[in-house]
Structure 1
């Protein structure tokens, strides 16, 4: 069980003004824990790179623990899980991203480290064509036992969530507000179904309203959580294209559904394809080939039963193989985070293990075991 004081101090740290993802990790790296950040003398805080007088003064605000205590009471009242970036249950796909939230609020039952995660996004002004295509995509994901991620918004988002619920696929709604509010309110019933077969996820404390600046921040979580992002319909500008750009920056696979020329809600998708920022999505085979999915390998199996003769491998090679056995396919950055190996050394080890037939390279800079016995 986590130390109750540490949880309280993590919440307090999340309330420090102007301390975001990077500085939070910097503080934890130097101080060792959230509680230690608040007990470290001001002079020592000032010696931490990036921590000036303004930030040091903010950390020493007297009311931060009071705010944290109020927030913790709400967390317990609403049966919310707090996921700190070092927790095992924290999404591993987000851990290595420089701007990922240090703290997440989660209501739900699905694992955020599901073996296969697909994001589906698009315009709020979805056409009948867009809704039909979204429903077909979700139906085709059923044999792959995917987790579907979207933003709970009108249009393509809610269509994806509802189709996932209908077909009993777990689905996560990433929110731009606190968990005490479902926005838009018209989606309350679907959100309630998702709490028991999927979940709701946010980085925002209780009481946060869905103001405009919150949505791009929400979109980065959607982009980072998934293995592949499918854009169904998108205008020339909008949140779906922002999410696609972020997914591209995070080395996620991006696919776009082509649309009719002249349709304003196809302009964004057609442009992504034309600019080579997205692969074309015409059917599920496009996604299967891009991610190298094998229907013979059940997605729900999060570990691979691999028996290793440890005498044949170095300690570093074994650390890589163990991560792939426990976590499934991983990007090279994720492997680096998990093994704490330098990038150059890790690349050399991966190449050697690939030559030995122990692992194979996948699209999207990922690696997985070859399932040898």
Structure 2
């Protein structure tokens, strides 16, 4: 992309009162941002949807300085810029009507042909929520998903850290420019995230912290992935906003159920009750609902981790060997393991090629 076109795109993205939907309409009409800004006022005034206020905004030269400053920041800091009409723009985000015309990134992000999951939840995540999130990512690790979140306290940082621990790509979506990290305490994770993943934002480096920025950031979190998982949430919160956005994008939404009296289960339970989210209790549920092809993943080197069976996996395998074809409920009774734990164990055994699922929630060894 030529520098002048990028400068004009930066101006267009940053113009107040235009918005990403109208910006795309204008780019479609003119073919480029340069042609748009070179058009005279008389011609602009004939275009449907451009009223006097927007016309004045488009001809406001004060935005040029901010765009020039941002272009300098991009060049000085080796920031990657992704234009929604180009191939390197995230494919799923491109499908969203309000996705930004420009997305800025830093790190080593590779989303091509990858399963992508967004994980969100309360900033006041409980020990139960932490354990579930860590176990979920651990169980999914052989499938090598990209884990997307917002780098916030609570569920976000738990998801990022778990992905790092399992050498998975993780992408943090920021509600500010790439010149800073918020919260500052999470600065210590920046290098690890950039080494195997990175950061996305559509905000300029001069952006100030504002509540509406975080709400806007949530559309990037929801738009990047094929599914959004809500770990824990109160009746109100940013994670529910992200879930609603994902639902509006016709993406899959999943929620972890909890006891009705638990404060941070109420939001998840509500999503399930309103049929905005599917209930999941294990990684196996997620694989089933998303219809992921785990057969091709059996050859993945990471599945070697499961070849030497120990503990509960060995117990389940030996019981299947003894009984033969069996339903999961019966297997739960004979092994004294709860079904939610069995589902996770059986998925690991399936990934490693030890067992196979059968109709009617039955399993048998291979």
Q: TM-score range by the shorter chain?
A: 0.7 to 0.9
Q: Which residue is equivalent to 1:71?
A: 70
1:87 aligns with 2:86: yes
Structure 2, gaps ≥5 residues long: 301-366
Give the 3-state SS of the residue equivalent to 2:12 in structure 1.
Answer: helix
TM-score, length of structure 1 as denominator length: 0.78
Q: Which residue is equivalent to 1:174?
A: 173
Deviations 1:267-313 (A, max 9, x none): 111111122211111111111111111122359x9xxxxxxxxxxxx
Q: Does the 8 Å contact 2:13/2:20 carry over to 1?
A: no
Structure 1, gaps ≥5 residues long: 302-373
Deviation at 1:114, TM superposition (A): 4.5
Q: Does the 8 Å contact 1:202/1:218 carry over to 2?
A: yes
Q: Which residue is equivalent to 1:207?
A: 206
Q: Which residue is equivalent to 1:254?
A: 253
Deviation at 1:199, TM superposition (A): 0.8
Q: Which residue is equivalent to 1:355?
A: none
Deviations 1:247-277 (A, max 9, x none): 1111111111111231100111111112221
Give me the whole-angstrom Cα distance separating, in 1, the residues matched to 2:276 and 2:70. Answer: 41
Deviations 1:329-349 (A, max 9, x none): xxxxxxxxxxxxxxxxxxxxx
Choose 117-126 or 135-144, whichever is displaced more. Answer: 135-144
Q: Which residue is equivalent to 2:5?
A: 6
Deviation at 1:129, TM superposition (A): 0.6
Deviation at 1:210, TM superposition (A): 2.6
Q: Which residue is equivalent to 2:138?
A: 139
Give me the whole-angstrom Cα distance separating, in 2, the residues matched to 1:7 and 1:67. Answer: 13
Deviations 1:35-64 (A, max 9, x none): 111101111111222111221221112233
Q: Provide the aligned length of Structure 1 versus Structure 2.
A: 300
Q: Which residue is equivalent to 2:30?
A: 31
Decide whether aligned partners of structure 1 residues 257 and 192 sit closer, same or farther in structure 2, where only a CA change above 3 A counts. Answer: same
Decide whether aligned partners of structure 1 residues 128 and 6 sit closer, same or farther in structure 2, where only a CA change above 3 A counts. Answer: same
Decide whether aligned partners of structure 1 residues 19 and 298 sit closer, same or farther in structure 2, where only a CA change above 3 A counts. Answer: farther
Give me the whole-angstrom Cα distance separating, in 1, the residues matched to 2:210 and 2:65. Answer: 25
Q: Which residue is equivalent to 1:227?
A: 226
Give me the whole-angstrom Cα distance separating, in 2, the residues matched to 1:114 and 1:20. Answer: 30
Q: Does the 8 Å contact 2:253/2:277 carry over to 1?
A: yes
Give me the whole-angstrom Cα distance separating, in 2, the residues matched to 1:48 and 1:189. Answer: 49
Give me the whole-angstrom Cα distance separating, in 2, the residues matched to 1:225 and 1:165. Answer: 19
Deviation at 1:23, TM superposition (A): 1.1
Give me the whole-angstrom Cα distance separating, in 2, the residues matched to 1:95 and 1:38. Answer: 24
1:62 aligns with 2:61: yes
1:290 aligns with 2:303: no
Q: Which residue is equivalent to 1:191?
A: 190
Give the 3-state SS of the residue equivalent to 1:266 in structure 2.
Answer: helix
Give me the whole-angstrom Cα distance separating, in 2, the residues matched to 1:112 and 1:292. Answer: 19
Q: Which residue is equivalent to 1:348?
A: none
Give me the whole-angstrom Cα distance separating, in 2, the residues matched to 1:246 and 1:23. Answer: 19
- Aligned-residue CA RMSD in angstroms? 1.7
Give me the whole-angstrom Cα distance separating, in 1, the residues matched to 2:295 and 2:271. Answer: 32
Give me the whole-angstrom Cα distance separating, in 2, the residues matched to 1:223 and 1:262. Answer: 28
1:17 aligns with 2:20: no
Q: Does the 8 Å contact 2:120/2:149 carry over to 1?
A: yes
Give me the whole-angstrom Cα distance separating, in 1, the residues matched to 2:57 and 2:297. Answer: 49
Q: Structure 1 residue runs of 4+, over 6 Å off?
A: none
Q: Which residue is equivalent to 1:266?
A: 265
Q: Which residue is equivalent to 2:161?
A: 162
TM-score, length of structure 2 as denominator length: 0.79
Give me the whole-angstrom Cα distance separating, in 1, the residues matched to 2:220 and 2:15. Answer: 21
Deviation at 1:115, TM superposition (A): 2.1
Give me the whole-angstrom Cα distance separating, in 2, the residues matched to 1:216 and 1:74. Answer: 25
